[in-house]
Amino acid sequence: MPIPSTLIGIPASPGRAGGRVVRVAEPPGEPATGPAPADPAGEAARIEPAVELVSTRLTARAATVSGDAREVLEATVTMVGDPALLQNAQELVTERGRPAARAVWEAANGFAATLSSMGGYMAERARDISDVRDRIVAELLGLPAPGVADLDAPAVLVATDLAPADTAGLKPGVALALVTEQGGPTSHTAILARSLGIPAVVGCAGASTLTDGSAVIVDGATGEVGEVATLDEAVEAAAAAAVVTDWDGVGRTADGHVVPLLANVGDGPGAAKGAADGAEGVGLFRTELAFLSAAEEPSESRQREAYVAVLSAFAGKPVTARTLDAGADKPLPFLSLDGEPNPALGVRGLRIARDGSGGDGAGVLDRQLAGLAAAAKETGAELKVMAPMVATAEEARWFVERCRTHGIGRAGVMIEVPAAVLTADEIMREVDFVSVGTNDLAQYLFAADRQSGPLAALNDPWQPALLRLIGMLGEASERTGCPVGVCGEAAADPALASVLVGLGVASLSTGPGARAAVGAAIGGLTLAQCRERAAVARAAADPIDARRAVAALDG
Ligand code: PEP
Ligand code: MG
C-alpha cells in the first residue's frame, strides 16, 4: 500500500517505520581564519585534549556495538589519533597564526584531499576525515558535538548527511529510520544501515523541510517519506505494512521453486557470520577486500590462509570466489594501473590478467587460482570461481581454461558490462554459471558513476532498463541451461528479489541482515506471482512506477 508521500528519495535500506522526527545536529561549518592567537603555544596546546576527548567518545561508542559498525568506528578513532593530523594542526597555529579550530580544519582538509586523490575506497575515507574534523572543531569552539545525540525515545533521524560513525552507533528499534538529504545508495552510511536493518532513504531532496517533532512514515524500500498529522497515525501505517519475516531458512517460493539465498562476504569473520545466519553458501566472496592495503602481491601462504578462513565456514556448501576485482573503486596497490584517465573504464577486473603491457597480471591470476584450489581441498567447500568485468565470450573462454588448468570444475563470470548481456548466449555456452553484479551493470548501463550522490537515481536497481537486461539474461539462461544468479545490492531488496526470481534468476546473494526479509518475501509468493511482478516492473516507465506497480499487486 503506497504511503501518503510528500517526499521521495533513494531507497537505501528496506523496511517501513513511522515515528517522530529528530533532526541531527549539523556540523559546525568553516571556522574563521583569524584573529591570530595572542598566545600561539597556548592555543596550539588546546588541540591535543580536544582530539583525545573526541577519540575517547568514539572509542566508548565502538565498545557498545559489534561487526561492521565497530570496524567503522575503530577506523574513525584511528584517523582521529593520526599523529600527522595533530602535528600539522599545531604547526598551523604556531607557524601561521591560525586559531586552533581553523588549524584543525585546514590540516584535516589537506589529509582528506590526499585521500581523495587516491580514488576508490581511499577517497570514500575522505568522508570519515571530514567527520573527525567537525567533531574536533566543534569541541574547540564549544559547540554541541555534531551528529546523533543519545536518543531517549525511538525516533526517525533526519540529517543533511550522516557520518559513518553516526550510523555505526545507532540502535535498531531506537533509530527507527534514517532520512538524509544527500548521499547515495552505495555510500558507507547506506551499507551500514542495511547491515543494522534500519530502514533508510538517502538523497531525499526536501528532507530539510521536515521539522523536529513532526510525525513521518518512511519506506526504505520505495524511497517514500510521508508527513502525517499524528504520531499514532505514523506508527499505525508503518505497522500495517510491516514485512513478515517468518521464514524457515530455505530459499524457495510458496510453490517450492528453489532459489538458494547466499551470502556476500569479504573475509573469515564475515563468512562465519553468514554461516551462523543460515546462508546456504557464499554467492560472492570479494577476494580483493582481504588485500586492499597490501603493497605487494600477498604470498601464496598468506592468500591460502585468507581463502581457508572463508571456505572453512562453508564446508560441503557452495562458495563462489571472485578473482581479484582490482581497479576503479577498489584499487589494489600491487595491481591497479596508475594514472588512467578513466579507471572505471580502464584495465580493471579480469582485464588486468589479460593486459599485454608487461605487467604480471596473468601470473597473479594463476597464483590466486592455485591458492583457491588448495583452500577448497583443505576445507571441503564446493569451490566455484568467477571473473569480474567480463565483456566478451572470448574472455569468458580464456578464464574458464585458466580455471580448468588448476582443476577448478565450476567456473563462471560476472555480468557487469551491458555487452555481456547482449552476447549472453555465447558467454553462457562457455561457462558453468553467471552472476549479475547489478552495482556495476547499472553503472555501465547508465554511464553513471556508482559512487556519485547526484547520479544515484540512475543507479537505482528498480530502473526498468536494468530489469530488462536481467530479463534478457533470464531468457538466455532458459535457452542455454546456464544458471544466472544476482550478487549485487539489488538482491537485498525483498520486493525486488521477487521480481528477480520472476525474471529467471536462480540464486540471490546478499550482505548480512537482508536474508530473512528476502526469504520471507519470496516464500510468500508462487513462481507465477513472481513472474507477474517481473512483467509489471519490466514494463514500467521508471523506478517509482516499477515499485508502485509491484506494490499494487499486493492489493
Ligand atoms: C556488483 O558490481 O554488483 C558487484 C557485486 O561487485 P562489486 O560491488 O564488488 O563491484
Ligand atoms: Mg562489480
281: confidence class by pLDDT, cuts 50, 70, 90 = very high
Asked whether the beta carbons of 313 and 263 are under 8 A apart, the reply is no
The model's pTM: 0.71
Asked whether the beta carbons of 485 and 280 are under 8 A apart, the reply is no
Percent of the chain residues past pLDDT 90, beyond the cut: 58
Atom 3 (ligand 1) nearest CA: 437
Alpha carbon distance 397, 131 (integer Å): 46
Alpha carbon distance 492, 484 (integer Å): 16
| H or E element, residue 17 | strand 16-23
Tally of CB atoms within 10 A around 4: 12
Atom 1 (ligand 1) nearest CA: 437
pLDDT tens-digit readout, 76-93: 788 778 888 899 999 999
Q: Which residue has the cell 501505517?
A: 237
Residue 353 grid coordinates: 590478467
- The pLDDT of residue 121 is 63
Our measurement of the distance from residue 505's CA atom to the centroid of its chain's CA atoms, rounded to an integer in Å, reads: 21
Kindly state if the Cβ of 186 falls inside 6 Å of ligand 1.
Answer: no
- Taking the CA of 185 as reference, the closest ligand is 1
| pLDDT of 1 strictly over 60 | no
Residue range 298-303: average pLDDT? 92
pLDDT tens-digit readout, 484-498: 999 988 998 889 999
DSSP 181: S
| pLDDT of 348 strictly over 90 | yes
Asked whether the beta carbons of 384 and 320 are under 8 A apart, the reply is yes
Tally of CB atoms within 10 A around 407: 12
Residue range 126-147: average pLDDT? 86
More confident residue, 375 or 54: 375
Alpha carbon distance 187, 456 (integer Å): 10
Active site residue 257: no
pLDDT tens-digit readout, 421-468: 999 999 999 999 999 999 999 999 999 988 777 788 898 899 999 999
Q: Which residue has the cell 543533511?
A: 160
Residue range 179-198: average pLDDT? 76
Tally of CB atoms within 10 A around 295: 8
- The pLDDT of residue 358 is 78
Average predicted confidence (pLDDT) for the chain: 89
Phi/psi-derived region of residue 278, left when phi > 0, alpha when psi is between -120 and 50, beta in every other case: left
Residue 508 grid coordinates: 540471490
pLDDT tens-digit readout, 12-49: 887 889 999 999 888 888 999 989 999 999 999 999 99
DSSP 248: -
Residue 341 grid coordinates: 584517465
- Taking the CA of 466 as reference, the closest ligand is 1
Q: Which of 204, 403, 482, 487 is catalytic?
A: 487
DSSP string, 508-537: EEE-TT-HHHHHHHHHTS-HHHHHHHHHHH
Residue range 335-362: average pLDDT? 88
- The pLDDT of residue 143 is 87
Atom 9 (ligand 1) nearest CA: 286
Out of 132-141, 194-203, 375-384, the most confident range is 375-384
pLDDT tens-digit readout, 95-122: 999 999 999 999 999 888 887 777 666 6
Kindly state if the Cβ of 322 falls inside 6 Å of ligand 1.
Answer: no
24 CA to centre of ligand 2 in angstroms: 33
Burial of 288 (0-12, 13-18, 19+ CB in 10 A): buried
- The pLDDT of residue 292 is 73
- The pLDDT of residue 426 is 98
Nearest atom in ligand 1 to 435's CA? 5
| H or E element, residue 170 | none
- The pLDDT of residue 247 is 84
Alpha carbon distance 134, 491 (integer Å): 35
Query: 485 - beta bridge partners?
Result: 435, 507
- The pLDDT of residue 15 is 82
What is the chain's percent helix, strand, coil content, to nearest 5?
Answer: 50, 15, 35
Kindly state if the Cβ of 437 falls inside 6 Å of ligand 1.
Answer: yes
b/e sequence 483-505, b meaning 16+ C-beta within 10 Å: bbbbbbbbbbbbbbbbbbbbbbb
| pLDDT of 191 strictly over 90 | no
- The pLDDT of residue 101 is 96
274: confidence class by pLDDT, cuts 50, 70, 90 = very high
Kindly state if the Cβ of 284 falls inside 6 Å of ligand 1.
Answer: yes
131: confidence class by pLDDT, cuts 50, 70, 90 = confident
Closest of 280, 255, 258, 263 to residue 506, by C-alpha: 258
Q: What counts of helices (H) and strands (E) characterise the chain? A: 22, 16
Domains of the chain: 7-25+147-241 (3.50.30.10), 40-141 (1.10.274.10), 261-552 (3.20.20.60)
Out of 169-173, 271-275, 456-460, 475-479, the most confident range is 475-479
Asked whether the beta carbons of 7 and 206 are under 8 A apart, the reply is yes
Alpha-carbon dihedral angle through residues 135, 139, 141, 144, given to the nearest 10 degrees: 80
pLDDT tens-digit readout, 392-423: 999 999 999 999 999 999 999 999 999 999 99
| pLDDT of 190 strictly over 60 | yes
- CA atoms within 13 A of residue 50's CA, in its CB half-sphere: 26
Alpha carbon distance 431, 503 (integer Å): 20
- The pLDDT of residue 97 is 95
Alpha carbon distance 454, 449 (integer Å): 10
Kindly state if the Cβ of 287 falls inside 6 Å of ligand 1.
Answer: no
pLDDT tens-digit readout, 213-268: 999 999 887 788 998 888 888 887 777 665 556 788 899 999 999 999 999 998 89
- Per the document, the length of the chain is 555
Closest of 394, 391, 389, 396 to residue 412, by C-alpha: 396
**Backbone angles phi and psi of 347, in degrees to 5:** -80, 90
Active site residue 188: yes
- The pLDDT of residue 244 is 53
DSSP 243: P
Q: Which residue has the cell 590526499?
A: 114
pLDDT tens-digit readout, 159-186: 988 776 677 678 878 899 999 988 776 6
